[in-house]
């Protein structure tokens, strides 16, 4: 019975959208800035999975090339974002996303 099931690229696309949705929910629900950041990484990874799947569907290496750039941008984003979080949480270790409203001039 199981042999009849064939893994089509559509499965990967649906899995990618599910991961993206979970990441989006986490970003909206969680208040810890570090965990929110991890949710952003989750969403980025869902998108890279989709890129690789489309690359296979279209038989084009371009999708995989984009994934390399996404990786670089994600690394840069993590470095700067964690720098901000370190600067913030060093002053107030209990800070949540709500407290960032205090940054208003």
Partner 1 sequence: MVELFVFAVAGLVCLSGAIGVIASRNPVHAALSLVATLFGIAVLFVAQEAHFLAAVQVIVYAGAIVVLFLFVIMFLGVDRAEDLRVEPLGGQRIAAGVLGIGVVALVVAALASTSFEATGISGDVGPLPEEGAYDISLLSEALFTKYVFAFELTSVLLVIAVVGAVVLARRSRRAEEIVDPGQEERAEQVAERIARAEARARVYERNPRGGEAGGAAAAPADEPAEEPEEVTA
* CA dist., res. 73 & res. 95, Å (int): 26
Q: Residue 27 Cβ, how far from partner 1 at the closest point, in Å?
A: 8
Q: Residue 21 Cβ, how far from partner 1 at the closest point, in Å?
A: 4
Kindly state the tokens that stand for 85: 């979080």
Number of H helices, E strands in the chain: 3, 0
Q: List C-alpha distances in Å: 77 to 5, 40, 84.
A: 40, 10, 11
Q: Residue 77 Cβ, how far from partner 1 at the closest point, in Å?
A: 8
CA angle 88, 89, 93 (to 5 degrees): 145
């Amino acid at each position: 019975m199981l042999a009849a099931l064939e893994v089509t690229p559509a499965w990967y696309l649906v899995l990618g959208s599910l991961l993206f949705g979970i990441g989006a929910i986490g970003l909206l629900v969680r208040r810890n800035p570090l965990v929110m950041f991890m949710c952003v990484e989750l969403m980025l990874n869902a998108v890279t999975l989709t890129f690789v799947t489309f690359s296979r569907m279209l038989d084009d290496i371009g999708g995989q090339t984009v994934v390399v750039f996404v990786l670089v941008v994600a690394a840069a984003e993590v470095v700067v974002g964690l720098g901000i979080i370190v600067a913030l949480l060093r002053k107030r270790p209990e800070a949540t996303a709500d407290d960032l409203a205090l940054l208003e001039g």
